[in-house]
Amino acid sequence: MVDKLDVIIFGATGFTGKIVVEKAEEVLQGLTWGNMQEEICKLENVLSTVGKKTGKDLSQVSITLADVEDEKAIKEMANKCKIVVNCCGPYRFYGEIVVKACIEAGTHHVDISAEPQFIEGMMVNYHDLAKEKHAYVISACGFDSIPGEMGVVFAERNFPGTVNSIESYWENTVDFKDKNCKTLVHTGTWASLIHVFGNTGELIAIREKLTPKDLPRLEPKLKVRSYPHKEFSLDSYFVPIQAGDRDLVVQTQNFRFKNEKKRPIQYENYIGFKSVFVTLFAPLLLAIFSILARCSLTRKVLMMFPNFFTFGILTEEGPTEDNMERQSFEMVFKTKGWTKDQLLSEEPKQQLWTRISARNPFYAMTAVAMLSSAKIILQETDKLPGSGGVISPGYAFLKTSLIEELQKYKYGMRFEILKLEQI
């Protein structure tokens, strides 16, 4: 009997998948890994290109063929490894068949989906079966949720008392050398976003099943500031953003309340822009996009012309390597709560400021975060909650060393404590 591989990277020939393969040699040291995709020549080309770039001989890396629509081949893949690193999206169309095959095989699964209908739908449909099969299925293990989720974990770990609320402030910095090329993201992300906004109604029924009925009323209540505002020493003007990381932080708090009876942390996130005009214009543009995505005709038009509708930020070619290298981000977390000596009936008197930062967040950092998540699942299974399940990153990695792992790499993340103050 042939031993199972530790990791299989599925979708290795896609734009993000190639970068995941490039980072695998560094992050997955000591583990056996391989690639899986439909066309063997494309996989060989990816390995050859990555090998030349990194100076590593990848000729012995295992290659397996599979079509994402071939259920038999997907099942065979799931049975060949301990964890599948799934880079094949949009997950709304291609994710469930892989998740189901992994769970039935007792194989773990991570992905980089930012699609709440898929993520939370898998929680509703497969959580119990995953627990029974001792398989962990953890979505959004890239930029969309790992910074937010692990930022909350880091803030709570370092807060000397009880946390009431956390607000995160995200700034993305771009310094393009070539002003004629302003692409930030590949259109694969665009397709996922369109289907997320086009099917928002599905979330109501899904979340009704996921939300505990006995959630407590939390006081003092965290109020959302919908107007442009500044915070801390940051230069940007911030407005709230409804993104996947907030959704998953909420699910993490729900999991912890349901299983630990722990008081949930209230959470809101904001995005920053240097210009007041852009800060006011961006939410309006997002609202228009959401409306267009809900109609089948305009949704098709959006899919056909991503370059036009995003002013060149998203293209089919994707960002150049130079453009990816010139992107960075930071998220500053404002954590409010009670000191160890306070009663929870009193007004919170303590505030902690923390920060996460990284380079090349949408691709290199995402690849490192995804692979690090897979590595931690394999090496620290005993520190994960329960015996399996379809769960959020913040809940899954709460007691693990993922934060320490992410700080080892050039394209990992930096976690910092900025200031603790009385309020």
Q: Please name each of the domains of the chain with its CATH number.
A: 146-361+414-422 (3.30.360)
Task: Give the pLDDT score at 40.
Answer: 45
Closest Cα partner for 186 from 42, 11, 323, 328? Answer: 323
Instruction: From 136, 14, 18, select the one nearest 82 (Cα to Cα).
Output: 136
> 149-182 burial string, b = 16+ CB within 10 Å, else e?
bbbbbbbbeebebbbbbbbbbbbbeeebeeeeee
Query: pLDDT band at 169, cuts 50/70/90?
Result: very high
- Token pair 């897979």 is at which residue? 374
244 token code pair: 């996947």
Picking from 91, 83, 72, the residue whose alpha carbon sits closest to that of residue 4 is: 83
Contact 400, 384 (CB under 8 A): yes
Give which of 216, 182, 403, 414 is closest to 310, Cα–Cα.
182
User: What percentage of residues in the chain have a pLDDT greater than 70?
Assistant: 90
Say how many C-beta atoms besides its own lie within 10 A of residue 291's C-beta.
Answer: 11
pLDDT value at residue 321: 86
- Residue 39, pLDDT score: 47
DSSP structure class, residue 382: G
pTM reported for the whole predicted model:
0.90
Please report the sign of the dihedral spanned by the C-alpha atoms of residue 25, residue 28, residue 29, residue 33.
Answer: negative
The residue among 4, 6, 28 whose CA lies nearest residue 370 is 28
Q: How confident is the model at residue 55 (pLDDT cuts 50, 70, 90)?
A: low
Could you tell me the pLDDT band of residue 43, with boundaries at 50, 70 and 90?
very low
| DSSP tag of 262 | P
User: How far apart, in whole angstroms, are the C-alpha atoms of residue 200 and residue 292?
Assistant: 13
Which DSSP helix (H) or strand (E) runs through 422?
Answer: strand 414-422
% of the chain beyond a pLDDT of 90: 64
pLDDT band at 12 (very low <50, low <70, confident <90, very high): confident
Express each pLDDT in 246-297 by its tens digit. Answer: 999 999 999 999 999 999 999 999 999 999 988 988 888 888 888 898 888 9
Query: How far are the Cα atoms of 125, 284, 359, 413 from residue 235, in angstroms, in the given order?
Result: 43, 22, 19, 21
Answer whether residue 1 shows pLDDT above 50.
no
Say what the pLDDT of residue 365 is.
Answer: 97
Asked whether residue 69 carries a pLDDT value surpassing 80, the answer given is no
Statement: residue 53 has pLDDT above 70: no
Residue 274's CB is within 10 A of a number of other CB atoms, namely: 11
Those residues with Cβ within 8 angstroms of residue 14's Cβ, 6 or more apart along the chain or in another chain: 87, 88, 188
Q: What is the pLDDT of residues 126-152, one digit of tens each?
A: 999 999 999 999 999 999 899 999 999
Which three-class secondary structure state does DSSP give residue 297?
helix
The whole-number pLDDT of residue 202 equals 86
What is the pLDDT of the chain when averaged over all its residues?
A: 89
- For residues 21 and 23, what is the distance between their CA atoms, to the nearest angstrom? 5
Taking a C-beta distance cutoff of 8 angstroms, is the pair 292, 243 a contact?
no
In whole angstroms, how far apart are CA 74 and each of 105, 135, 299, 318? 11, 16, 30, 28
Residue pLDDT, tens place only, 15-27: 888 899 899 989 9
Distance, in Å, from the CA atom of 90 to the CA atom of 372, rounded to the nearest integer, reads 22
Tell me the C-alpha distance between 402 and 235, whole Å: 30
DSSP-derived 3-state class of residue 84: strand
| Tokens at 211, concatenated | 């939300």
Q: How far apart are CA 368 and CA 265, in angstroms?
A: 27
